[in-house]
Amino acid sequence: MFIPMITGTTQLLGVIGHPIHHSLSPVMHNAAIAHLQADYVYLPLPVKPDDLEPAIAGFAAIGLQGFNVTIPHKQAVMPLLSDVSELAQAVGAVNTVIKTEQGWMGTNTDVEGFVAPLRSHLATSPQQSAVILGNGGSARAVVAGCAQLGFAQVQVVGRNPEKLQAFLASWQHSPLSVNLSVHPWEQLPRLLPQASLLVNTTPIGMHPHGEDSPLSETDLTALPPGAIAYDLIYIPSPTRFLQLAERQGAIAINGLEMLVQQGAAALRLWLRQEVPVEVMRSALVDYLSQRN
Ligand code: NAP
């Protein structure tokens, strides 16, 4: 592993979360920093929920240049920032914070991360229907991404009626133009035949439960050939869901690309320059192949 030279002038970046030891972000960010020979280092910063406010004040005191935010702080950090972008407000979560002259500015690069691998597949025609499995935190970035991509309908499928209604209500005054509807899981046979994009935002199929899939092979026969199946999970890669969808003629996209692209978007904001996405992707692939 290449260790960048840390000196007295090295600027600090990092990621806050609790726990944080599982984060892959230091691997890809430090690989890009080393490639660019930038005088930065990116650190895992464990912050317990009760310590969030003093931690943010401390980051300002020591001159941190910016940080990523992961579970459980993506919502809780918002009132502690001087400014939150319209996109992050619409999503209801901040994953990237930038130091500005006015103070901390929060934004959300998960949306850009989600959208980036879809652009080449969806470039040609207006999109009709996206079906999203799950209504948790990452589903919010996916809805915002589908709105950016111009889907005529975004259909969110969940297992808990109260959470589904709360999810729907939270988008009613959104600055993003999105035609959103929510549905119980049983409605999928009716929804899938119209879907050009099917996204799994549930953890079903995530390591160590790699044999699981949110939908069976039979369920997936309803998906039109050529539709895109997108799984936010990146371990295992591909997931069982993607394997089954591919067997039905779907184009498969796994969650690693979203992870890479949201990180690249954040690093661009901090360094104010283009970043080596390929280096970030390879660093993650190499790291994961050594670890598994
Ligand atoms: P979350 O906020 O906990 O949401 C998970 C959603 O899945 C909830 O709506 C939950 O339903 C639903 N769900 C969980 N188990 C289910 C089951 N057995 N049957 C039906 N629905 C189920 O989690 P998240 O932060 O959105 O993360 C979800 C997944 O996305 C994780 O695997 C995470 O690793 C991945 N992710 C990847 C990226 C990336 O960059 N690739 C980024 C973010 C997240 P209830 O609300 O009813 O509990």
Per CATH, domain 11-108+257-291 is 3.30.70.380: no
Ligand 1 atom, smallest distance to 163 CA: 46
Look at residue 264 in the predicted model and tell me its pLDDT: 98
Look at residue 4 in the predicted model and tell me its pLDDT: 65
Q: How far is the CA of 138 from the centre of ligand 1 (A)?
A: 7
| Atom 43 in ligand 1: residue holding the nearest Cα | 138
Question: Is any atom of ligand 1 closer than 6 Å to the C-beta of 54?
Answer: no
Q: How confident is the prediction along the chain (292 residues), in pLDDT tens digits per residue?
A: 556 689 999 999 999 999 999 999 999 999 999 999 999 999 999 999 999 999 999 999 999 999 999 999 999 999 999 999 999 999 999 999 999 999 999 999 999 999 999 988 876 667 899 999 999 999 999 999 999 999 999 999 999 999 999 999 999 989 998 999 999 999 999 999 999 999 999 999 999 999 999 999 999 999 999 999 999 999 999 999 999 999 999 999 999 999 999 999 999 999 999 999 999 999 999 999 987 6
Look at residue 122 in the predicted model and tell me its pLDDT: 79
Question: Is any atom of ligand 1 closer than 6 Å to the C-beta of 95?
Answer: no
- The single residue listed with the structure tokens 């912050």 is 47
Question: Is any atom of ligand 1 closer than 6 Å to the C-beta of 134?
Answer: yes
Contact 93, 137 (CB under 8 A): yes
Separation CA 131–CA 146 (nearest Å): 10
| Atom 32 in ligand 1: residue holding the nearest Cα | 203
What per-residue string of b and e applies to 212-245 under the rule 16 or more CB within 10 Å gives b? ebbbeeebbebbeeebbbbbbbbbbbbbbbbbbb
Q: How far is the CA of 203 from the centre of ligand 1 (A)?
A: 5
Q: How far is the CA of 100 from the centre of ligand 1 (A)?
A: 32
Separation CA 75–CA 69 (nearest Å): 9
| Ligand 1 pocket mutation, candidates 202, 237, 259, criterion most atoms within 8 A of CB | 202
CB atoms within 10 A of CB 44: 17
| Ligand 1 pocket mutation, candidates 138, 219, 253, 285, criterion most atoms within 8 A of CB | 138
Tokens of 263: 């990180």
Separation CA 257–CA 143 (nearest Å): 17
Look at residue 124 in the predicted model and tell me its pLDDT: 62
Question: Is any atom of ligand 1 closer than 6 Å to the C-beta of 72?
Answer: no
Q: How far is the CA of 249 from the centre of ligand 1 (A)?
A: 25
Beta pairing class for 103-107 and 96-100: antiparallel
Ligand 1 atom, smallest distance to 139 CA: 26
Question: Is any atom of ligand 1 closer than 6 Å to the C-beta of 138?
Answer: yes
Q: Hey, what CATH class is 111-253 in?
A: alpha beta
Ranges of each domain in the chain: 11-108+257-291, 111-253
Residues 6+ apart with CB under 8 A from 125: none
Question: Is any atom of ligand 1 closer than 6 Å to the C-beta of 189?
Answer: no
| 99 in catalytic set | no
Question: Is any atom of ligand 1 closer than 6 Å to the C-beta of 237?
Answer: no
Contact 215, 244 (CB under 8 A): yes
Residues 6+ apart with CB under 8 A from 104: 56, 60, 80, 81, 82, 83, 97, 98
Separation CA 16–CA 226 (nearest Å): 39
Look at residue 3 in the predicted model and tell me its pLDDT: 62
Q: How far is the CA of 197 from the centre of ligand 1 (A)?
A: 18
Q: Which residue type sits at 203?
A: P
Look at residue 99 in the predicted model and tell me its pLDDT: 98
Question: Is any atom of ligand 1 closer than 6 Å to the C-beta of 92?
Answer: no
